[in-house]
A and B are shown apart, each in its own frame.
Chain A
Amino acid sequence: MSVSGITTAPGGLSPMPGAAPRRRILLSQALHEIRTTLRNGEQLLLTLVIPLLLLVGLSHLPTDLVGHSPSIDAVAPGVLALAVMSTAFTGQAIATGFERRYGVLKLLGATPLGRSGLVVAKTLGVLAVEVVQILLVAVVAFVLGWQPVGSAPSAVLLLVLGTAAFSALGLLLAGLLRAEATLAVANGVYLLLLAVGGVVIPADRLPAGVASVVSLLPSSALGQGLRDVLLHGQVFPLGPVVILLVWALVAGTITVRTFRWS
Chain B
Amino acid sequence: MARAEVAVEITDLAVSYGSTHALGGLSFEVPAGQITALLGPNGAGKTTTIEVCEGYLSPDSGSVRVWGLDPVRDCAALRPRVGVMLQDGGIYSSIRAVPMLRHLASFYANPLDVDDLVARLGLGGVRATYRRMSGGEKQRLALACAVVGRPDLVFLDEPSAGMDPQTRLAAWDLVEQLRADGVTVVLTTHLIDEAERLADQVVIIDHGRLVTSGPTGELVGGGGVLSFTASEGLDLVPLRTRLPAGAVVLEGPPGHYRVEGEVGPQVLSAVGSWADALGVSPRDISTGRRSLEDVFLDLTGRELRS
Contact = CB atoms under 8 A, between A and B. Distances in A.
Contact-residue size bin, chain A (C-beta under 8 Å from the other chain): 35 or more
A2 to B, nearest CB: 7
Nearest to B86: A103
B10 interface: no
Nearest to B90: A107
Interface stretch (B179-187, B189-197, B294-302): B179-187
A16 B102 CA distance: 17
A110 B106 contact: no
A20 interface: yes
Contacts of A259: none
Interface in A1-33: 2-7, 10-20, 24-25, 28, 32
B179 to A, nearest CB: 9
Contacts of A15: 81, 150-152, 181-183
B235 interface: no
A2 B114 contact: yes
A6 B102 CA distance: 15
A106 B90 contact: yes
Contacts of A111: 79, 84, 104, 107, 149
A7 B82 contact: no
Interface string A103-120: 110110111111000000
A103 B181 contact: no
A28 B103 contact: yes
A91 to B, nearest CB: 15
B147 to A, nearest CB: 7
A100 to B, nearest CB: 10
B106 A3 contact: yes
Contacts of A36: 92, 94
A99 interface: yes
A107 B86 contact: yes
A102 interface: yes
A102 B79 contact: no
B231 interface: no
Interface string A16-55: 1111100011001000100010000000000000000000
Which of A6, A14, A17, A109 is packed against the most chain B CB atoms within 10 Å? Answer: A17
B181 A3 contact: no
B80 A19 contact: yes
Nearest to A11: B177
A98 interface: yes
13 contacts: A2-B102, A2-B114, A5-B110, A5-B112, A10-B180, A14-B150, A15-B151, A17-B151, A18-B80, A18-B150, A98-B93, A111-B149, A112-B79
Interface of A: 2-7, 10-20, 24-25, 28, 32, 36, 98-99, 102-104, 106-107, 109-114, 262
A-B residue pairs, 3 tightest by C-beta: A107-B90, A103-B89, A18-B109
